[in-house]
Amino acid sequence: MKKLNIAIVGLGNIGSYLYKYLNDNKKILTEKNNCSPFIKYVSAKNKKRKRNIKINKEKWLNNYLDATKLKEVDLIVELIGGAEGAAKKLVFNALKNKKHVVTANKALIAKYGDQLAKIAEKNKVNLEFEASVCGGVPIIRSLKEGLIANKISKIYGIFNGTSNYILSNMDKQNKNFEEVLFSAKKLGYAESNPAADLNGDDVSSKLKILSSLCFNSFLNDNFHIEGINKIDKEDIDNANKFGYKIKLLGYAELLNDKIYQRVHPTLIKKDSYVASIDGVLNAIIIDGKPVGQSIIQGEGAGPAATTSALVSDISSILRGNVKFPFSLSNKERKRLKFKNIDDRFFSAYFRFEVIDKPGILSNITNIFSKNKVSIKRLVQNPNRNKKISSIIIITHKSRDKSLSKILKEVAKKSYIEKKPKLIRIDDD
Ligand SMILES: NC(=O)c1ccc[n+]([C@@H]2O[C@H](COP(=O)([O-])OP(=O)(O)OC[C@H]3O[C@@H](n4cnc5c(N)ncnc54)[C@H](OP(=O)(O)O)[C@@H]3O)[C@@H](O)[C@H]2O)c1
């Protein structure tokens, strides 16, 4: 029986789960792949740290970079994390030394994926990163293999479980942002520093990788990014009244030969599929030809789901074929036009908290007409006790540049009590 020698570097949440999984399931994986996965070496930062797995002493490397030099190592699984430092050094050296690499490191692939793919291709080894995007949702393998026949025009959905948990529980449990964030941290659904989950950066890194796979292009940083930090309970309630849910959605779409990449809170119709995805789940929708629409959903993070993705990558390497990391040879990947969203059309939700005085509503609507944005619905909710009024406006489809201009212009007015809101609506 053929055997593949593996070095696992990083034995934290994910690495220790993978170690145990590979040992417990070696027989079935060997049968399915006709090659045996053998964990030859491991490494972590602190050899003496207490771990919940038993590892023979002889498996420990003296230095994590030895994995890249030892002749008997075929595959390195990088589970350190971070775009720089040890993880970067390990993966670059591994590929240069003709070792296959499997990684769960979204930060590293989003930043250095193009360079790494070039080295992997030159040295005819695999660089696999299914676990770097949406954990247990096999989106990368689906794009590279299952959906290979398709010309993809759009990929979108829910790519961050933490922000989806917060938005759906603000709605269901009738709680505000801070209350739900607190319980998310307590339940382990949000990290102690959840900034990247809440400000949209986590989604943009994932989408950057997927967008490049969908459109056969190099990785591109042209993104519009907004997070959920500014969404409050009133917005969720208003959305409900208008027949929408608010979700943090990521989109990469090809329109008239240009690619738009964006992440922002979005009002989406209550009866749509995406609106029904609650809690920590991820859900990805792909529009392609000839397939039509495909959807995959599942757990986006955590050791179990991430191990499922890692084992898929390891199995692919066990089966022996060398593939281009981004589906196409480096020479065939394109430099497409990535546009910012200024000239894309959206309908939008605006919320203005204003002093309750005559003349203000007409001043606001004048600013809309001056910017050629037509109003579809307008609701005014006065709060006589506080002497303020909440004005909600839903617009027809308009140029994004004009929508943002209105927001800025109204924000400067002396009658504004609270920073105005603009949330784009998905009614494509
Ligand atoms: N956690 C998730 O749900 C999840 C989901 C998808 C993807 N990922 C990705 O998976 C990767 C690992 O995440 P994790 O949650 O397992 O992280 P973690 O628990 O912090 O584990 C990191 C591991 O890296 C080791 N390490 C740190 N610096 C090192 C160095 N200089 N040399 C060798 N080893 C070093 C640490 O060693 P010690 O144990 O000795 O400190 C630890 O074992 C990251 O790229 C992450 O983004 C995680």
Stretch 365-389: mean pLDDT? 93
What share of the chain in percent tops pLDDT 70?
Answer: 100
Q: Which of 168, 392, 417 is nearest to 177 (CA)?
A: 168
Stretch 50-59: mean pLDDT? 94
Which residue would you say has higher pLDDT here, 385 or 28? 28
Beta bridge partners of 43: 9
Q: Is the pLDDT of residue 168 over 80?
A: yes
Spacing, Cα 330 to ligand 1 middle (Å): 29
Least confident of 138-147, 188-197, 274-283: 188-197
Task: Give phi and psi for 366, each to the nearest 5.
Answer: -65, -40
The reported pLDDT for the residue numbered 22 is 98
Residue nearest to atom 1 of ligand 1 (CA): 302
Q: pLDDT band at residue 159, thresholds of 50, 70 and 90?
A: very high
DSSP state of 150: P
Q: Measured from the CA of 105, which atom of ligand 1 is nearest? A: 45
Stretch 84-100: mean pLDDT? 98
Spacing, Cα 87 to ligand 1 middle (Å): 9
Cα 276 from Cα 204, distance rounded (Å)? 22
Residue among 8, 19, 42, 45 to mutate when testing ligand 1 (max atoms within 8 A of CB): 45
Stretch 169-195: mean pLDDT? 91
Spacing, Cα 9 to ligand 1 middle (Å): 9
Q: How many helices (H) and strands (E) does the chain have?
A: 14, 17
Spacing, Cα 310 to ligand 1 middle (Å): 14
For residues 257-270, b (16+ Cβ closer than 10 Å) or e, as one string?
eebbbbbbbbbbee
pLDDT in tens, 27-47: 999 999 999 999 999 999 999
The reported pLDDT for the residue numbered 246 is 98
Ligand 1 site: residues with CB under 6 angstroms?
Answer: 9-15, 43-46, 49, 64, 79-81, 86, 104-106, 131, 135, 301-302, 306
Q: pLDDT band at residue 188, thresholds of 50, 70 and 90?
A: confident
Q: Measured from the CA of 309, which atom of ligand 1 is nearest? A: 6
Q: Is the pLDDT of residue 352 over 80?
A: yes
For the CA atoms of 37, 41, 42, 47, what is the dihedral angle to 10 degrees? 150
- The radius of gyration computed from the CA coordinates of the chain, to the nearest angstrom, equals 24
Cα 62 from Cα 42, distance rounded (Å)? 10
Q: Is the pLDDT of residue 193 over 90?
A: no
* 275 and 157 Cβ atoms separated by less than 8 Å: no
Q: pLDDT band at residue 386, thresholds of 50, 70 and 90?
A: confident
Cα 218 from Cα 191, distance rounded (Å)? 31
Spacing, Cα 125 to ligand 1 middle (Å): 23
Q: pLDDT band at residue 136, thresholds of 50, 70 and 90?
A: confident
The reported pLDDT for the residue numbered 383 is 84
- Active-site residues, by number, are 206
212: Cα separation from own chain's centroid: 13
Q: pLDDT band at residue 427, thresholds of 50, 70 and 90?
A: confident
DSSP state of 142: I
